[in-house]
Structure 1
Amino acid sequence: MSRRRALGVIGVGAAALTGCGVPGRSAPATHSGGAPAVRPKPVVPTGDWASVQGGMKKVTDTVGQIQGYASKTSVSRGESIDFHLSSHLAQTCRVDIHRVGRGDGPGTRRLMTSTPFPVRPRTRPTPASGTGLIACDWPVSWTLRIPGSWESGIFLAVFTTQDGYRSYTPFVVRDTGRRSDILMVVPFTTYQAYNLWPHDGHTGRNRYRGYTPAGVWGGIDDRALKVSFDRPYPESGLPHWFALDTSAARWAESNGYDITYASSVDLHEGRIDPSNHRVMMFSGHDEYWSREMRDCAEQAVSAGTHLAFLAANNIYFQIRVEDSAEGRASRVVTCYKETADPAPGPTGPTVRWRQLDTDHRRAEQGLLGVQYNGILKKPAPLVVRESRHWFWSGTGLRDGDEIPDLIAVEADGFDPAMPRPAGTKQTLLSASPYADRLGRGRTVQNTSLCVNKKGTFVFVAGTFYWPLALGDPRHFNPHVQRATRNLLTRMLEHSGK
C-alpha cells in the first residue's frame, strides 16, 4: 500500500478523529525508578462544548441537511466574514459563534447567537475536468462583523436548523498588529488538502483520492489536483485532525500563555511579522506549505523567533495558493505531486520539498532537523533519550523510559542522508522504534531540538499525538505537558534576537 493510499484510507475512515476529541487512552510513562511520575490534573468538558458537539440530529454529505463554508480562513476585529449555507429544505437557521479555550477548560464559549434567517438547498458542484476542483458558488447567507472586544483565537460558526440539524465551520480571529509571546498558526492549507467533501458516494475528492464513475473510492487517478476553500468540510464540518489544534490551544490558554492566532493562509499572504512574536507555534498536522509560508518561517529563525512544531509530517509538499475563478484571493490550494505540474513558476513544481533539487537542499529536514519517515500500524511508545537535558527536567524520566502510545499516525525522524540545519546544535530527545504501516519494516521516530548560534530554537515533536497529550482529556499525559512547559519557558526566557 502506498503512502497516498494509506492516507486516503485514514481520511475516509477517521470520522471519529475529526472532532475536538480523539478516542484513545493515556497512561503514565513506565520507568524502573527515580522521581515519581507527575500526577495528571483532571479535565472535565464544559456544558457549552457538549452543546456544540451533540444533542442534534446527524448531518450527512449524502443529504446535506445543513452545511456551509466561510469566505475567509481568518478575519481581523472590525472586519466582516461571510458564511455560505445550503440546507436540504427551505427553512430557517441560526448561527452560534463559539471560541475555543481561554478560561473554558477543554470546551468553548458561546459569544453570540444570530436571529433566525432563511436557508434553502443550493446546487452541489461537480468536479472540474482535468483538476477535479470542487468549488461552490453559494450566495452569502449570513455575515458577521467581528466585534472589537473579541480576542484572537480559534472560532467555530455553529449552524443549527429549524428541523434540528447542526454542523460547523472553523475560522480564526487574528490580531496581527499586536505583539504576543506566542503566535499559533492553524494549518488551513492542510485542512483543505484532506477535505473529502462531499463524501456522498459519487462526487467528493481530496488530494489523495476520489470517487470513480462507478461510485467507489479510487486511487491517485481520481484525486483532485486543486482543492477549494469554497466548500464545506465533510459531514459535521470539522476538518480532519482539527483536534490537534484545539487541544494545543486549550492547553496553552489554560496555562496563561500570551498567545495570538493566525491561519496558514495568513502566513502565505504575508500578514505575519515574525518579529512581533517570541515563538511561532505550529500546533497541528501542517503538511502543505507554499514557498511564501516557508520563507516566513525561515525569516523568523533568522530574526531570532523560535519555531515549535507540535505534530509530525511538516512542510512535506510544496503548494501554490491561488485565486478562485471569480478572483477571490487565496481560495485554491494546488499540488500536482507525481502528476506533471503544467505551470511550476519561479518556486518550482508542486512536489515534495525534498524532491525540488537533486541534492535535496530544500528537504524539510534542512529547516526542521527531522522529517517525515513513516505511517504507524498502531501507536507505539515514545522512548526517552537525553533525559538529563533541561527539556525533560521535572518529569522523572530516564533514558530508555517509555511514554505509552505517544507515537501515532505519522512520525518524523532524523535522516543522515539529508541536509540538517546549518550552524546548529541538534539534540534528539527520543529514539522510538515503530512498525511502519506501508511495509517498510521498523524505523525510528525522533523528537528533535535544534539551536543555532544566536540561541534560536527549532523544536519538532515528531508525532501526531503530542498536542493531544497536552489538552485532550482522553490523551492527557503529564510528562508531555511538563516537557512542553519546559520548552516554552526556555524559548520565552532566551531570545534569539
Structure 2
Amino acid sequence: MSSDWFISDANYASQHEIEGYASATSINRGESINLYVNTVDPSYTITIYRMGWYGGAGGRRVAGPITRSGSRQPACALDASVRLVECNWTNPYVLSVPHNTADPTDWASGIYLAKLTGSSGKQSYIIFTVRDDNRSTALLFQQSVTTYAAYNYYGGYSIYGEGSIGGVAAYKVSFNRPYLNLQRPSSGKGAGDFFSWEAKALRFLEREGYDLAYATNIDTETLPMSLRQHKAFLSVGHDEYWTRGMRDSIESARNAGVHLAFLGANNGYWQVRLEPGQFDGRPRRNMVAYKFSAPSLDPQYNSNPAEATYLFRGAPVNRPEASLIGVMYDYNSVDLDMVISDCTSLAWICRQTGLQAGSVLKGLLGYEVDRVDASSPAGITVIAASPYMVGTERRYANMTYYTHGSGAGVFATGSMQWNWGLDDFGERADRVNPAVQQMTRNVLNRFVN
C-alpha cells in the first residue's frame, strides 16, 4: 500500500516540465509497453502503481523508482488538413509485465499509473491498463479511453472547438501524445479523465471486494468475446465515443446474457473510427471524429454509412443509444439533485437504502444527463425522474433498469455524477452518499450471484 502515487497540484508539471505517453492504452499480462517521456530535466524517475482501495491509500507500488536520463523530445507533428497532433518520440522505457500464472495478484489486471518525477521535482502521470485475458471474473471494468482522447488538447487541438487553437476542432486525435484535459482539475495531471469519474468507482468496487478484471473500450472492440467471460460489464466513466465494433460487442454480450451497468451518462453518443498511428503504424492509435461536419467531410459518410463518424441516433447510423442502454443523452450542464420516482416495481434495487418515491439524492444529477426515449426497450422501469430546466422547459433525467430477453439486466444511472456518490476521493468529496453505494451494491450483487 502506498499514498506516494499521488501528485499534488503544486508539483504537477503544468508547464510541460515532464510529460509522457504510452505506446498502448492496455496490455495483457505478459506483454510489454513503451513509456515515452519528454522533460527539461537532466534526469527523472518512473515509479509505477496499481490503483485500487488498499486500505484507503488508493494505490500499491509495483515497480521503481527507475532512474533515467532526461531528454527533450521533438515537437509533435501537425496534420493541418484534419488538425491531427501526433508525437513520434524516441528512447522509451520498455516495461515488461510478468505473467505469473500461479499468482493473479502479481501485476494484477487493473489501472496503472506511471508517476514521472523530474530532478526539478515536477511530476506527471502516464496511465495504462493491464488486462488478464485468460481469467474470467464476476465484473469487467471498462476504462473509457476514447473520451480521454476526445478531450485531449495536447498540442493545441481536441475534437472540441472550445479550447482548440482558433476555436476550430480537430477531426482526428491521437493517443500518441500526453493527456491534457483542460476541463479537469490540473488538466488531469496526465491521467485523462480517470480521477474525475473512474477513480471513485474503482476505489468503491475494490473496497467492496468484487472480483474484477479491467480493460479499455478499445479492448471492447478488439476482444469482443472477452466480455462473455464475465457476469457483468461495467461502463464506468465518461463513455461518450464508441466505434461500431464497441457497440456491436456490448450488444452481443447483452444478447448472450451478460449484464450491463452504465454508471455514467452520455454513453455511446458519437460513433468514431480508429486508425493506425501515422509514424509507428500501431493499430488503433488515432481516432476519427468528424461529428457534425461528417455529412460534408467524412469520406465514409456516403460510401460506408454504417461507419460514419456521426451521432449513433441519427441517420445514416440509426442506432439510438437508448435501444441498448435504456436511456440516452439529453443535456448538459446541470448540477442538481436526483429524485427517485419508483422503488416499488423493482423493490430489490432500493433494498436497505431508505429510498422511496420522492426521495432526493443531493447533488448527484449532472453534469450530463440522460432520458428515456421512444427507442428504449419495452418494459423498462424508470427508477428516477429528476427535473431540470432548459430555458422555460421542464425536462426529466432518468435512471432505468430493464431485463433483456436473454436474461441480462441493464442498469443505467443517467447521470455522470452518480460516481461522486460512491467514494469521497478527489472532486466533490462531500457528495458521497450511502444510499447510492447501497443501490450500486444491490444491482451488482444481483448481477454476480
Normalised by the length of structure 2, the TM-score is: 0.90
Query: 1:393 and 1:226, CA in 2 relative to 1: closer, same or farther beyond 3 A?
Result: same
Say which of 126, 130, 136 aligns to 1:173: 130
Say which of 428, 447, 466 aligns to 2:382: 428
Following superposition, the deviation at residue 492 of structure 1 comes to 1.7
> What's the C-alpha RMSD, in Å, of the aligned pairs?
1.9
Q: How does 1:382-461 map to 2 (within 5 A)?
A: 382-388=338-344, 389-416=347-374, 419-421=375-377, 424-436=378-390, 439=391, 441-461=393-413
Asked whether 1:347 is paired with 2:306, we answer yes
Helix, strand or coil at the partner of 1:462: coil
Which amino acid in 2 is paired with 1:352? L
Q: Structure 1: which 5+ runs fail to align?
A: 1-45, 199-203
Conservation of the 8 A alpha-carbon contact between 2:40 and 2:70: no
Q: Deviations over 1:348-392 (max 9, x none)?
A: 3100001134xx841111111110000134x11111111222111
Q: Deviations over 1:413-446 (max 9, x none)?
A: 1123xx123xx5210100000134xx47432110
State the identity as a percent. 35
What is aligned with 1:31? none
Helix, strand or coil at the partner of 2:63: strand
Distance 2:231 2:55 in 1: 25
Distance 1:106 1:427 in 2: 38
Asked whether 1:307 is paired with 2:260, we answer yes
Distance 1:85 1:110 in 2: 20
4+ runs deviating over 4 angstroms: none
Following superposition, the deviation at residue 56 of structure 1 comes to 6.0
What is aligned with 2:28? 76
Normalised by the length of structure 1, the TM-score is: 0.82
Distance 2:393 2:333 in 1: 10
Q: How does 1:348-387 map to 2 (within 5 A)?
A: 348-357=307-316, 361-377=318-334, 379-387=335-343
Helix, strand or coil at the partner of 1:85: strand
Conservation of the 8 A alpha-carbon contact between 1:348 and 1:356: no
In the alignment of these two chains, the number of paired residues is 424
Conservation of the 8 A alpha-carbon contact between 2:255 and 2:404: no
Conservation of the 8 A alpha-carbon contact between 1:376 and 1:434: no
Query: 1:176 and 1:134, CA in 2 relative to 1: closer, same or farther beyond 3 A?
Result: same
Asked whether 1:332 is paired with 2:283, we answer no
Asked whether 1:136 is paired with 2:87, we answer yes
Conservation of the 8 A alpha-carbon contact between 1:93 and 1:160: yes
Query: 1:95 and 1:50, CA in 2 relative to 1: closer, same or farther beyond 3 A?
Result: closer
Following superposition, the deviation at residue 272 of structure 1 comes to 4.6
Following superposition, the deviation at residue 462 of structure 1 comes to 0.7
Query: 1:116 and 1:106, CA in 2 relative to 1: closer, same or farther beyond 3 A?
Result: closer
Following superposition, the deviation at residue 102 of structure 1 comes to 4.6
Q: Which structure would you say has the larger RCO, counting Cα contacts within 8 Å and 6 or more residues apart?
A: 1
Helix, strand or coil at the partner of 2:37: strand
Q: Structure 2: which 5+ runs fail to align?
A: 100-105, 181-186
Conservation of the 8 A alpha-carbon contact between 1:59 and 1:65: yes
Say which of 479, 489, 494 aligns to 2:435: 479
Say which of 196, 200, 216 aligns to 1:247: 200
Conservation of the 8 A alpha-carbon contact between 2:19 and 2:125: yes
Distance 1:110 1:380 in 2: 38
Following superposition, the deviation at residue 141 of structure 1 comes to 2.6
Conservation of the 8 A alpha-carbon contact between 1:210 and 1:224: no
What is aligned with 1:263? 216
Distance 1:375 1:206 in 2: 19
Q: Deviations over 1:257-310 (max 9, x none)?
A: 010000111112226522200000011110000011011001001110001000
Conservation of the 8 A alpha-carbon contact between 1:94 and 1:116: yes
Query: 1:361 and 1:126, CA in 2 relative to 1: closer, same or farther beyond 3 A?
Result: closer
Conservation of the 8 A alpha-carbon contact between 2:386 and 2:398: yes
Asked whether 1:122 is paired with 2:73, we answer yes
Query: Which is strand-richer, 1 or 2?
Result: 2
Which amino acid in 2 is paired with 1:167? S
